[in-house]
Amino acid sequence: MSEQEAQMVFSIEKLYVKDLSVEVPNSPQIFLEREAPEISVQLSSQSQSVADDVYETQVKATVTANLGDKNMFLVEVTQAGIFRIANVPAEQLDPLLGIGCPNIVFPYLRETVSDLVIRAGFPPVLLNPVNFDALYMQQKQTGQSNGSH
């Protein structure tokens, strides 16, 4: 094996919005409300191989704002990245796809969610930083695969 073949490769090929949805089911009346809504955020990530040494990582956020029994808005965004990863030892690939790649994708997801909420007519929702290390370990303990191979 030559020195060049053994060199690890990690590059970002593309970052993009894979899917998004905004719903404001109770408009325009909901804009007359002055109370602060209860915000709920659900987050998930997954990675998969799409070609030799090419992987896609998706981070999905579902943000719901409710005021009592009324839904103010629902925003769903799947932000994705395509990564070229080569010559990485097998034991390092899964953590890279489960932790490293989501950490790169997340700031773009955060910006997209905030922008969509503003465009829907509401104050911005800023997603809190996420500990993908903890999520990865939790997935491993519960036996969930992150779909990386």
Residue corresponding to tokens 């089911």: 25
CATH 1.10.760.10 fits 3-127, yes or no: no
Distance CA(148)–CA(1), nearest Å, equals 26
Distance CA(118)–CA(121), nearest Å, equals 5
Query: At 5, is the pLDDT very low, low, confident or very high (cuts 50, 70, 90)?
Result: low
Q: What percent of the chain has pLDDT over 90?
A: 83
45 pLDDT higher than 70:
yes
CB of 96 closer than 8 Å to CB of 85: yes
Distance CA(54)–CA(48), nearest Å, equals 9
- Those residues whose C-beta lies under 8 Å from the C-beta of residue 52, and which sit 6 or more positions away, are none
Regarding predicted confidence, which is higher, 138 or 132? 132
